[in-house]
Amino acid sequence: MTAPIVETEALTKAFQGMVALDAFDFSVGQGEIVGLIGPNGSGKSTVVNLLTGVLAPTAGRIRVDGRDVTGAPAHEIARLGVARTFQMIRLFSSLTVEENVVLALQQQSGAGYVSSFLQSREARERRLAARAEARETLKLFEMDIHAEKLATDLSIGQQRMVELARGLATRPRLFILDEPAAGLSPVNVDRLITMIRRMRDEFGVTVLLVEHVMRVVQSVCDRVVVLDYGEKIADGAPNVVVEDPKVIEAYIGLGRAADA
Amino acid sequence: MALLPQFLANGVVIGSSYVLVALGLTLIFGILKIVNFAHGEFYVLGGYLAVLGSQLLGFPPLPALVLVIVCMAAFGWGVERFIFLPIGKHDPTNVIIASFGLSILLQNVFLKVAGPEPMIAKSGLPAGAIRLGSVFLTSERIAIVAAAAVTVTVLLVVLRFTWVGLSLRALSENATVARISGINVRRVAVVTFMIGSSLAGLSGALMSSVFMVQPGGGVLVVMKAFIVVVMAGMGSIEGAIVAGLGLGVVEALVTGYLGSEMRDIIGFLIVIAVLAVRPQGLFGLKTERS
Amino acid sequence: MRTNLSLLLLLAILMALVPSVLQGGYFVNVAIVVCIYVVLAASLDLVMGWTGMYSFAHAAFLGVGAYTAAILGRDLGTSFWINLPAGTLVAGLFGLLLGLPSLRAQGHFLAIMTIAFQTVVYLILAQWTDFTGGQYGISIDPIEGFGSLSAYFYLVLGVTVVALIVIRLLTGSRFGDALRAVRDDETLARTIGMNTNAIKLIAFAISSSLAGAAGVLSAYHIRGVTPDDYTVMTSASIVTMVVLGGRGRFWGPILGAALLVLLPELLSGLADYKHIFFGALLIAVIIVAPQGLAGTLAQRRAK
Ligand SMILES: Nc1ncnc2c1ncn2[C@@H]1O[C@H](COP(=O)(O)OP(=O)(O)OP(=O)(O)O)[C@@H](O)[C@H]1O
Ligand SMILES: [Mg+2]
């Protein structure tokens, strides 16, 4: 395996004593597409929130590109090239679709705040460049026709595409997708599958995919990690993992779910 | 040290008024998810109504208190119906601004109607201090504690055994489930608001025979009630009782040993400190779900 | 952006005609007060409208600016030209102080904390008699060379225009985008790489320093400071101006401030009941048109 982009060591998160993630060891290699699956409430989104700095871990370590970022604020992790989408879609509601993407781009390549305040030529040029870039990326997701609309006026499926465009536009090193197929029509799920592949193959983006829709996981992931009650119960190739009795049990919910 | 029991007793008196105000605030928040910034002015209004009842109308203590409770319940109904209901819950920021507006409005109405001079209610109770061991208390002060104790007991019984109480608890625990199981959310909201504002008014009325009623007096009261609720943990009735009495005692000790000049400044600094250290208290755990 | 700034300059030129067209000190005095409240409302809107945070303590910064000027003048004999930047700076520092809790507390907590802060500042101004002069306050000598009322008015108008241009440029720049992002969704803002804590602190600092500048201007206008000018009632008036005019819009607070300063002047009966009226108005606007006048107009036009 190539050098990991992100790596965790005994990563643990407890909410008021309730352990949502327990000593999780995990890594995503450069250029991989890794799936993270598990039943509802198994801690998948918690992993995403920890990796992106939205939540601070209770214990354990996180490294991005070999650099220790445990407890680092979200914006610093983002600036290392980690982008994400949200299970419950998040877009800036008072901004248009294009502005949403431009804003994300500006964080990476915008002019300085002072230069922008003074309306320098450089600032204007960079903003124009960011707009062009945003249009370009929106086009990939066939969202350029909606660029001028308010983000919140779109359908759920379209909003998901805008979230993907927002992340991809910044050319992240690691793109974490939290259930991107939720609420998508089958046609759009197909498009999503194609787009995830293109992200890696054309744009060199490493992808961590949290997903319930097994069709997506099976068709794009190189490797799948399975969580159950905050513990890693499997890690391997998709076709191997789905055959794993522990995974099957977790999903069918014999045993522990019955007495939960 | 000799004065310690006296300070403690003073603290319990003030603390019982905090308990009543805080209970109103916490009930309203539990159901309507709003912090009513004008709650302190409700307290002051209760004080003015007591002055009106006892001084101008010459009511004896109990009828005067009944008058306060009835008026405050009606007032609470009106505020809920004509201000908070139309705003809706969509935008909590607007509720904050509107209740701030109500607080400002009421303070200035008091100033116009009652004037800037502080007023005091006549309790009609026998004058002079009563001695309990090494502690001297006026009959008004004893009455405050007794009345607060009775009110809190009645409230606890109501919350435990009546439909209002049951639906109230169901609602504050899980609004969706409560709604599905057929609880009339609107009605509970209105009743809660009426109870909450009666509690604030009652507290103000009780205190009005000991402390002056003045137009701007509510600001400090709502802050105190707010930190009591924060320290107690949101929606916790028992917690509010303990925290309210505790705050009263701490304050009485500060006043007793350090003097009263700094009391208000220290009071506000406590507000800032408590909120800065434990901001999530009132709302339970601030959850960040993705 | 261009049209807004041109319109602003046009308005300023019209305002500059006030002393020559409307004879008599009364109108000039009113015009000065309008300018001061325009700066106050527009600066509060940076925090309240653009960033979506609450501050019911804006009058505290007005007071900090005013008292800084008065105390410096009294103890060190410094001139207006030192006191104006000093008042601006000190108010900005106090703004940072109030900004700190905003990093942890939101919504109701922040709102109640700002009221507490406002009250503490008032109590200090009113009770620390040795330093602040207590209820009697401190008097201020007129500025050399600006002794006449109309000369002072031009000075105030100039500062107002500069403050508004700064606000317009700020909100139209990346900083304005950042403020809106924080207001819409702070978590999202952070995960796309924005240092939202820094943004919020800077917003508080800039907003309160402009209020401090307004404080210096008003102190020199009334030739002194007394604590009662800087109570929560003044804060409430500024909040009402912002909400009535329309939050998060350039013209909103300007419109709101102008209206609410002029209205009590026009309807003499109203002056007495000003704060009652403002409180009621605040509630009414929130119920009927929470976006304020500018917001409602913009919506009409969009349709
Ligand atoms: N902010 C929070 N506060 C308290 N508990 C939380 C919080 N976030 C998550 N939890 C709890 O942690 C556990 C794991 O939640 P998480 O959202 O990570 O699950 P998930 O695997 O993403 O589930 P789903 O498939 O439903 O999205 C759940 O029991 C959840 O209730
Ligand atoms: Mg999840």
Question: At residue B93, does pLDDT exceed 70?
Answer: yes
In chain A, the N- to C-terminal Cα span, in Å, equals 38
Q: Report how far ligand 1's centroid is from the alpha carbon of A93 (Å).
A: 25
Q: Which residues of C touch B271 (CB under 8 A)?
A: 112-113, 116
Mean pLDDT check: name the lowest of A143-147, A164-168, A243-247, C181-185. A243-247
Gap from C25 CA to chain B (nearest CA, Å): 30
Give the Å distances, CA to CA, from B218 to A9, B42, B105, B204, C54: 53, 8, 12, 9, 20
Mean pLDDT check: name the lowest of B184-198, B248-262, C121-135. B248-262
Q: Are A54 and C187 in contact (CB under 8 A)?
A: yes
Question: At residue A30, does pLDDT exceed 80?
Answer: yes
Nearest to A103 among C181, C195, C196 (CB): C181
pLDDT at position B39 is 92
pLDDT at position C55 is 87
Q: Which sequence spans correspond to the domains of chain B?
A: 12-215
- How many domains does chain C contain in total? 1
Q: Which residues of B touch C238 (CB under 8 A)?
A: none
pLDDT at position B36 is 87
Partner chains of B (3+ C-beta pairs under 8 Å): A, C
Q: Which residues of C touch A54 (CB under 8 A)?
A: 187, 190-191
Within 8 A by CB and 6+ apart from C82, the residues are: C72
In a domain, C199, yes or no: yes
Q: Report how far ligand 1's centroid is from the alpha carbon of A13 (Å).
A: 10
pLDDT at position C16 is 79
Please write the tens of the pLDDT for every residue from B39-68: 999 999 999 999 988 887 878 878 888 999
* B93 touching A (Cβ < 8 Å): no
Question: At residue B281, does pLDDT exceed 50?
Answer: no
Q: Which of A17-21, B29-33, C207-211 has the highest mean pLDDT?
A: C207-211
Inspect the interface and report whether the beta carbons of B290 and A48 lie closer than 8 Å.
yes
A13-81+172-259 carries CATH number 3.60.21.10: no
- Output the residue whose Cα is nearest ligand 1's atom 8: B289
B266 to chain C: closest CA residue: C120
pLDDT at position B235 is 67
DSSP C287: H
Within 8 A by CB and 6+ apart from A165, the residues are: A101, A134, A137, A138, A140, A141, A143
Using the atom order of ligand 1, give the atom closest to the CA of residue A179. 27
Question: At residue B289, does pLDDT exceed 50?
Answer: no
What is the Cα A8 distance to its own chain's centre? 16
Q: How far is Cα B158 from Cα B189, in angstroms, rounded to an integer?
A: 16
Q: How confident is the model at residue C63 (pLDDT cuts 50, 70, 90)?
A: very high
pLDDT at position A253 is 61
pLDDT at position A174 is 95
Q: Which residues of A touch C195 (CB under 8 A)?
A: 73, 75
Give chain C's length.
303
pLDDT at position C1 is 61
Using the atom order of ligand 1, give the atom closest to the CA of residue A210. 22
Within 8 A by CB and 6+ apart from A63, the residues are: A4, A6, A7, A8, A9, A69
Q: Which of C297, C66, C274 is nearest to B107 (CA)?
A: C274
Mean pLDDT check: name the lowest of A35-49, A208-222, B216-230, C247-261. B216-230
Q: How confident is the model at residue B286 (pLDDT cuts 50, 70, 90)?
A: very low
B113, burial (CB in 10 Å: exposed 0-12, middle 13-18, buried 19+): exposed
pLDDT at position C51 is 92
Please write the tens of the pLDDT for every residue from B135-178: 777 888 888 888 889 988 988 888 888 877 777 777 767 767 77
Q: How confident is the model at residue C150 (pLDDT cuts 50, 70, 90)?
A: confident
pLDDT at position B255 is 81
Mean pLDDT check: name the lowest of A159-163, B175-179, C15-19, C69-73. B175-179
Q: Report how far ligand 2's centroid is from the alpha carbon of A39 (Å).
A: 9
Token pair for B165: 């109480």
pLDDT at position B285 is 38
In chain C, the N- to C-terminal Cα span, in Å, equals 22
Check: complex ipTM more than 0.85: yes
pLDDT at position B1 is 59
Inspect the interface and report whether the beta carbons of B290 and A54 lie closer than 8 Å.
yes
Question: At residue B282, does pLDDT exceed 80?
Answer: no
Please write the tens of the pLDDT for every residue from A55-89: 999 999 999 998 999 989 999 999 999 999 999 99
Q: How confident is the model at residue A206 (pLDDT cuts 50, 70, 90)?
A: very high
Task: State the maximum Cα–Cα separation within chain B, in Å, rounded to a whole number.
Answer: 63
Inspect the interface and report whether the beta carbons of A75 and C184 lie closer than 8 Å.
no
Question: At residue B30, does pLDDT exceed 80?
Answer: no
* A182 touching C (Cβ < 8 Å): no
Instruction: Provide residues of A within 8 Å CB-CB of chain B.
Output: 15-16, 45, 48-49, 54-55, 86-88, 178
Q: How far is Cα C13 from Cα C250, in angstroms, rounded to an integer?
A: 19
Q: Which of A206, A184, A183 is nearest to A196 (CA)?
A: A206
- Output the residue whose Cα is nearest ligand 1's atom 23: A41
Q: Mean pLDDT throughout A242-251?
A: 80
Q: Which sequence spans correspond to the domains of chain A?
A: 13-81+172-259, 95-153
Please write the tens of the pLDDT for every residue from C188-243: 999 999 999 999 999 999 999 999 999 999 999 998 999 999 999 899 999 999 99
In a domain, C254, yes or no: no
Using the atom order of ligand 1, give the atom closest to the CA of residue A46. 18
Question: At residue C77, does pLDDT exceed 90?
Answer: no
pLDDT at position B262 is 66
Range of the structural domain that residue C7 is part of: 2-231
* A80 touching C (Cβ < 8 Å): no
Given its phi and psi angles, is residue B33 left (phi above 0), alpha (psi -120 to 50 degrees) or beta?
Answer: left
Give the Å distances, CA to CA, from A54 to A10, A16, A57, A83: 18, 17, 10, 12
Q: Which residue has the higher pLDDT, A90 or B27?
A: A90
Within 8 A by CB and 6+ apart from A127, the residues are: A102, A106, A110, A111, A116
Question: At residue B270, does pLDDT exceed 90?
Answer: no
- Give the SS3 label for residue A63: strand
Ligand nearest to the backbone CA of A43: 1
Q: How far is Cα C156 from Cα C220, in angstroms, rounded to an integer?
A: 10
Nearest to B98 among C120, C124, C283 (CB): C283
Give the Å distances, CA to CA, from C301 to C189, C289, C296: 30, 15, 9
- Output the residue whose Cα is nearest ligand 1's atom 18: A43
Q: Are B208 and B123 in contact (CB under 8 A)?
A: no
Inspect the interface and report whether the beta carbons of C188 and A92 lie closer than 8 Å.
yes
Q: Report how far ligand 1's centroid is from the alpha carbon of A195 (Å).
A: 27
- Give the SS3 label for residue C56: coil
**Residues in the ligand 1 pocket, defined by CB under 6 Å:** A 15, 20, 38, 40-46, 87; B 285, 287-289
Return the percentage of chain B with pLDDT > 90, whole number: 20
Nearest to A16 among B285, B289, B290 (CB): B285
pLDDT at position C206 is 96
Question: Would you tell me which residues 267-286 of chain B have a C-beta closer than 8 angstroms to some C-beta of chain A?
Answer: 285
Using the atom order of ligand 1, give the atom closest to the CA of residue A49. 18
Q: Report how far ligand 2's centroid is from the alpha carbon of C115 (Å).
A: 38
Give the Å distances, CA to CA, from C220 to B57, C223, C261: 50, 5, 19
Inspect the interface and report whether the beta carbons of C111 and B96 lie closer than 8 Å.
yes
Q: Which of A113-117, B161-165, B285-289 has the highest mean pLDDT?
A: A113-117
Q: How far is Cα A248 from Cα A228, in angstroms, rounded to an integer?
A: 11
Give the H/E segment covering residue B267. helix B263-277
Inspect the interface and report whether the beta carbons of C123 and B268 lie closer than 8 Å.
yes
Q: How confident is the model at residue B278 (pLDDT cuts 50, 70, 90)?
A: low
Inspect the interface and report whether the beta carbons of B290 and A15 lie closer than 8 Å.
no
Average pLDDT, chain A: 88
Q: Report how far ligand 1's centroid is from the alpha carbon of A235 (Å).
A: 21
A89 to chain C: closest CA residue: C188
Q: Mean pLDDT throughout C22-46?
A: 91
Q: Report how far ligand 1's centroid is from the alpha carbon of A20 (Å).
A: 7
Please write the tens of the pLDDT for every residue from A40-49: 889 999 999 9
Using the atom order of ligand 1, give the atom closest to the CA of residue A21. 14
Task: Give backbone dihedrals phi and psi of A73, rounded to 5 degrees, phi first.
Answer: -65, 155
